[in-house]
Structure 1
Amino acid sequence: MSHFQQRFVAAAADIDELGHVNNAVWVRWIQDIATAHWAAVAPAEHQAAYVWVVTRHEVDYRGNLGEGEGVTAETWAASPRGARFDRHVRFTGDDGRVKVEAVTTWALIDRATGRLLRVRDDIAAPFLA
């Protein structure tokens, strides 16, 4: 499995009325690390030919994060099933505690036709190495 990491720090705009990172921000960060991983490891020809869309988010909130606090996000992908590609994401706070864990299902779309595609081995390989 090819793991990928990215750092996030909670800004004032990320904080809700309870004083911690809003759930919608966590989902945005899940998408941000997934797309950053794709951009970092997928060949340019794949990035030009394909786009991913989310079909499902499953998120477990285990802790809070306040303004100015940071997390290290780590993501990795599971083996594809047809057009589906499940991606795992774990956010660990500077205190060493897991704040959020998620499994997100992505589907592969052909940019030219807009059609759903099976995730071929050559497309999945950079994420599973």
Structure 2
Amino acid sequence: MKVIERTVTVLPEHLDHLNHVNNISYVKWVQDIAIKHWEINLTEEIRNLFYWVLIEHNIKYKGEAFLGDTINIKTYIKSNTAVTSIRKVEMRLQKNDKLIIDSETNWCLISTVSKKPTRITQEILDIFS
């Protein structure tokens, strides 16, 4: 599967009262990279026919990041069922490659017409491969 990567630099607004990255910031970055991965090769036709909803989120916090740290974020599709997709997201500190976040999210493909789960087409699978 196609891997998408980006980096973020920790800013003051990402911090919590303990002066390390707030868990909500990590969750937002998981969502942001998932959206980027979906939109990177998306046609207007597919955008008008389908959307994804998050049905399960699992995140393991394995380390901390602080103000000024650069975090490398990587995502890819781990597996698919007929209507769902398991997405893996890893976040590592750029300075030492330490894994700080290990996340898996389960997304369900929804038809914009029926508003119900719909089968993942080959065209959609091709976006991620």
- Report the counterpart of residue 17 of structure 2 in structure 1: 17
Give the TM-score normalised by the residue count of structure 2: 0.92
Secondary structure of the equivalent of 1:25? helix
Please report how far the alpha carbon of residue 41 of structure 1 lies from its aligned counterpart in structure 2 after TM superposition.
2.2
User: Aligned partners of 2:5 and 2:94: how far apart in 1?
Assistant: 14
- Report the counterpart of residue 63 of structure 1 in structure 2: 63
Q: Does the CA-based 8 Å contact 2:52-2:109 persist in structure 1?
A: yes
- Report the counterpart of residue 93 of structure 1 in structure 2: 93
Residue identity over aligned pairs, in percent, reads 26
How many residues are matched? Answer: 128
Please report how far the alpha carbon of residue 100 of structure 1 lies from its aligned counterpart in structure 2 after TM superposition.
0.4
- Report the counterpart of residue 104 of structure 1 in structure 2: 105
User: Aligned partners of 1:41 and 1:71: how far apart in 2?
Assistant: 24
Secondary structure of the equivalent of 1:119? coil
Please report how far the alpha carbon of residue 113 of structure 1 lies from its aligned counterpart in structure 2 after TM superposition.
2.4
Note the residue ranges of structure 1 that are not aligned, 5 or more in a row.
Answer: none
Please report how far the alpha carbon of residue 122 of structure 1 lies from its aligned counterpart in structure 2 after TM superposition.
2.0
User: Aligned partners of 2:125 and 2:79: how far apart in 1?
Assistant: 8
User: Where in structure 1 do 4 or more consecutive aligned residues deviate above 3 Å?
Assistant: none
2:95 paired with 1:114: no
- Which amino acid in the other structure matches residue 39 of structure 2? A
- Report the counterpart of residue 80 of structure 1 in structure 2: 80
User: Aligned partners of 2:80 and 2:109: how far apart in 1?
Assistant: 10
Please report how far the alpha carbon of residue 107 of structure 1 lies from its aligned counterpart in structure 2 after TM superposition.
0.6
Please report how far the alpha carbon of residue 114 of structure 1 lies from its aligned counterpart in structure 2 after TM superposition.
1.3
Please report how far the alpha carbon of residue 38 of structure 1 lies from its aligned counterpart in structure 2 after TM superposition.
0.7
User: Aligned partners of 2:44 and 2:7: how far apart in 1?
Assistant: 24
- Which amino acid in the other structure matches residue 33 of structure 2? I
- Report the counterpart of residue 125 of structure 2 in structure 1: 124
Please report how far the alpha carbon of residue 63 of structure 1 lies from its aligned counterpart in structure 2 after TM superposition.
0.9
Please report how far the alpha carbon of residue 16 of structure 1 lies from its aligned counterpart in structure 2 after TM superposition.
0.5
Please report how far the alpha carbon of residue 18 of structure 1 lies from its aligned counterpart in structure 2 after TM superposition.
1.2
